[in-house]
């Protein structure tokens, strides 16, 4: 079965750029999405089709996808961005989520 691998945790000082990676076999040949989930809340779609932002998502969130790796980049990271982040892609009509990355802003 298809797997997506994320680092369990990433730390970033406030105001700096955070990068969260998601690795999977030929992931660049598929569309990748990214979700943010804060404690006790439902997930929120941040990025779809590798790099597109739904309305209402701040411009500091951006995405890319090439080769075997998709990357979520958060520019000018704010304290409110501290959350769990999940990548997701489809494989043979099955949705696959990465294991999630806890972003700490410190």
Residues binding other proteins (CB under 8 A) = 1, 31, 33, 35, 37, 42-45, 47-49, 54, 84, 86, 88, 90, 93-100
With vertex at residue 19, the alpha carbon angle to CA 4 and CA 99, rounded to the nearest 5 degrees, is: 25
Least distance to other proteins from the beta carbon of 24, Å? 14
Residue closer to other proteins by CB (options 12, 33) is 33
Three-class SS state of 80: helix
CA gyration radius for the chain? 13
Whole-number minimum distance, CB 82 to other proteins, in Å?
Answer: 17
Min. distance of Cβ 14 from other proteins in angstroms?
A: 26
Tally of CB atoms within 10 A around 92: 7
């Amino acid at each position: 079965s298809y797997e997506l691998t994320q680092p369990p945790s990433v730390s970033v000082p406030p105001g700096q750029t955070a990068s969260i990676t998601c690795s999977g076999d030929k992931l660049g040949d598929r569309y990748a999405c990214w979700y943010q989930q804060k404690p006790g809340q439902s997930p929120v779609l941040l990025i779809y089709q590798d790099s597109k932002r739904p309305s209402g998502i701040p411009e500091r969130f951006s995405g890319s996808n090439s080769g075997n790796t998709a990357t979520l980049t958060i520019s000018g990271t704010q304290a409110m961005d501290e959350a769990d982040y999940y990548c997701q892609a489809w494989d043979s009509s099955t949705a696959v989520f990465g294991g999630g990355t806890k972003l700490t802003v410190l």
